């Protein structure tokens, strides 16, 4: 089946620094990838839709200058949290739209802790 | 905007019981309905995907149904096992994105 990886799985950074999270589709090409965040005991919330070769589409309330998304190839999308603050600490999950065009395959998630 | 609700929020059952998890959505114009499992601190595992034209899907001990007209989906788990303990999320697919419910935390007691 389709596999999506994320790196790193866990990262701790200091307030004010930036951190990059990678999302890769390992055995298929994904023109569309999605980034979600999940706060403790809450459901996932879509942050943005990442389209290969074009600008990402951000959901309302998500700061595009703070959460930079780059989908430079058909197998890689990156999310950079710039000038991170403790309130950015969360679980970030990416997904990739599979060959069928309607099923999403999820990465294992990245736990970000900002101190 | 699609809103997805899951009831109950938490459920504890003894091992071996059959159980049903409920999911309701406000906009019947969904494309597909997907059920996921999430273990603590982990990503999502897709369990079943019901396409808009389908009414149910089965995989092993799991059976998911979809009734678009009433805006409901159910996930039936037969002969529950302690390893089934996890949070179960349903999600309705809109135009290439997913609207997630808040999940049902299931605990199967040995």
- Write down the pLDDT at residue B26: 86
pLDDT tens-digit map of A86-99: 999 999 999 998 88
C-alpha distance from B11 to closest chain A C-alpha (Å): 15
Q: Does B100 touch chain A (CB under 8 A)?
A: yes
**Cβ of A45 and B32 within 8 Å?**
no
**Which of the pair, B95 or A17, is modelled with greater confidence?**
A17
Contact B98 A49 (CB under 8 A): no
- Non-local (6+) Cβ contacts of B23 within 8 A are B4, B5, B6, B33, B35, B72, B73, B74, B75, B90, B101
Contacts of B103 in chain A (CB under 8 A): 43
Q: Name the percent of chain A lying above pLDDT 90.
A: 70
Alpha-carbon distance B14 to nearest alpha carbon in chain A (angstroms): 23
Tell me the average pLDDT of chain B. Answer: 90
**A14-23, A105-114, B22-31, B94-103: segment of lowest average pLDDT:** B94-103
pLDDT, position B95: 61
Please compute the mean of the pLDDT values over residues A6-35 and round it to a whole number.
95
pLDDT tens-digit map of B32-66: 888 999 888 777 888 998 988 889 999 999 999 99
Can you list the positions of beta strands (E) in B1-110? 4-7, 10-14, 19-25, 32-38, 44-51, 56-59, 62-67, 72-77, 86-93, 98-100, 104-109
Is residue A20 within 8 A of residue A79, CB to CB? The reply is yes
Per the prediction, chain A carries an average pLDDT of 91
Q: What does the pLDDT average to over A66-79?
A: 94
């Amino acid at each position: 089946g389709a596999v999506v990886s994320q790196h790193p799985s866990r990262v701790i950074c200091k307030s004010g620094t930036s951190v990059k999270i990678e999302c890769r589709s390992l055995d298929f090409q994904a023109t569309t990838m999605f980034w979600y965040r999940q706060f403790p005991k809450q459901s996932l919330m879509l942050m943005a839709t990442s389209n290969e070769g074009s600008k990402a589409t951000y959901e309302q309330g998500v700061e595009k200058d703070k959460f930079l998304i780059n989908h430079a190839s058909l197998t890689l999308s990156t999310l950079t949290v710039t000038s991170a603050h403790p309130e950015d600490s969360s679980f970030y999950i990416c997904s990739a739209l599979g060959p069928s065009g309607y099923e999403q395959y999820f990465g294992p998630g990245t736990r970000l802790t900002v101190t | 905007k699609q809103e997805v609700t899951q009831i109950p929020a938490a459920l504890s059952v003894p091992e071996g019981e059959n159980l049903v998890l409920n999911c309701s959505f406000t906009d019947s114009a969904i494309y597909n309905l997907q059920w996921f499992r999430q273990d603590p601190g982990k990503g999502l595992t897709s369990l079943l995907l019901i396409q808009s034209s389908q009414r149910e899907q089965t995989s092993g001990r799991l059976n998911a149904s979809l009734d678009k007209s009433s805006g409901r989906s159910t996930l039936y788990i037969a002969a529950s096992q302690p390893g089934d303990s996890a949070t179960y999320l349903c999600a309705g697919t809109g135009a290439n994105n997913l609207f997630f419910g808040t999940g049902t935390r299931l605990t199967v007691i040995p």
